[in-house]
Amino acid sequence: MAADKTRFRQTFGAASIHALGPRFHAVAEINVTGWSAWVRADPTRTWTDAGIEARRRMAAAGYDIASGDTWAVNEFSSAVRRNTGAARANMRDLVRALHDGDGTLPVAKGIVFVIGVGQNLVDATAYKMTMERWLQDDGFWGEMARDVRWWAQEVYPNSFNWGVAGAPREQRAEYFNEYLQHPLILAEAGPSSVATARAFLERSYTALTSTAWRWPSAFGNTDISQLQMNDFVSEEIFSVRHYVGAHPETIPQGFFGTAWAPRNLSGLTKMEFGDQTRAILERLASALHHSYEQGGSSQEGACGPQGDHVWCDEDVAGAAFNDAWQVFVQWTPLTT
């Protein structure tokens, strides 16, 4: 994304992704903050206009829908979840226009990133009630099913709710998945009034994990050493791969999403920082290879090659599991 958040990069833009080969697809960031400013700048503009204009600018910047390129809305705010003001209606208008274009461009299902809440949330009751109300907005979810291919929930885990000393990887994965998959888990527990949302999430839900190192907040809490981060990433992949394998009919298969935003928080030299971030990327690639290769590999591969599963063993001092996310397995009947 360029400095103007409504215009797309020419340098390191779509063409640079296409140059990597046909298995790589360029994704245009539709920055909600930037396009909100664009809409406000002219009282005659609407969010439908914003989506149409974004598609025009995508085409001008070389994005090729026919070859697999698409758009990604970054991001649906908590106001959409809470249905504050016109936020939810505005985003419906935006994604509809992004999908449809102006009538001369090919239709395109895209990606929506959805802001979440932290894994260290102490009491999830109020958040869960808001989610239950949202999941029953049939019109909204029907629109998402029409226009959106991937629903990427920002569930950036907290390393201090993961690296519990002495806990086996299966227990860590169970707690991870209670958080990573909670919107889908709640929809699965819901009544018939969430049928539209449930059907959409079952084919589109993607837990967006965190490979963003080193952040005390914003991307979960990844303020840990590089060696600990390696194993944190492995366990994220292990957890997602395990959940997907255990639910072959109710979650998309072969998906994995993660945030990458390296940050030199500890004063490393440029060379040290480069070496350590490269090591994290190498772990990410290796864990994905060993757990997803050809679609038939075991989740155990995320923790190391066959016979050497030692990549999920690091602890974090002071880490403790959080039981708050266990409430999402049961639907709470609404009283209002």
Residue 149 belongs to a domain: yes
Residue 1 belongs to a domain: no
Mean pLDDT of all residues in 83-97:
99
- Tell me what the pLDDT averaged over the chain comes to: 95
pLDDT for residue 95: 99
The CA distance from 156 to 208, in Å, is 7
106-115, 189-198, 288-297, range with the lowest pLDDT: 288-297
Does the pLDDT at position 312 exceed 90? yes
CA angle (235, 219, 165) in 5-degree steps: 40
Residue 335 belongs to a domain: no
CA-closest candidate to residue 114, choices 155, 58, 159: 155
Domain that holds residue 119: 14-329
Residue 226 belongs to a domain: yes
Residue 336 belongs to a domain: no
Mean pLDDT of all residues in 188-208:
98
pLDDT for residue 336: 46
Total structural domains within the chain: 1
Assess whether the previous peptide bond of 75 is cis (omega < 30° from 0).
yes
Residue 8 belongs to a domain: no
Mean pLDDT of all residues in 162-186:
97
Residue 7 belongs to a domain: no
pLDDT digits (tens, 9 = 90+) for 21-50: 999 999 999 999 999 999 999 999 999 999
pLDDT digits (tens, 9 = 90+) for 62-73: 999 999 999 999
For the question of whether the overall pTM of this predicted structure is more than 0.85, the answer is yes
Assess whether the previous peptide bond of 214 is cis (omega < 30° from 0).
yes
Tokens of 167: 């806990």
pLDDT for residue 309: 84
pLDDT band at residue 293 under the 50/70/90 scheme: confident
Report yes or no: 291 and 298 within 8 Å, Cβ to Cβ.
yes
Where are the alpha helices (H) located in the chain, listed in sequence order? 14-18, 32-40, 47-60, 78-82, 87-100, 125-135, 138-147, 169-180, 182-189, 195-204, 226-246, 270-292
Residue 145 belongs to a domain: yes
The CA distance from 128 to 146, in Å, is 25
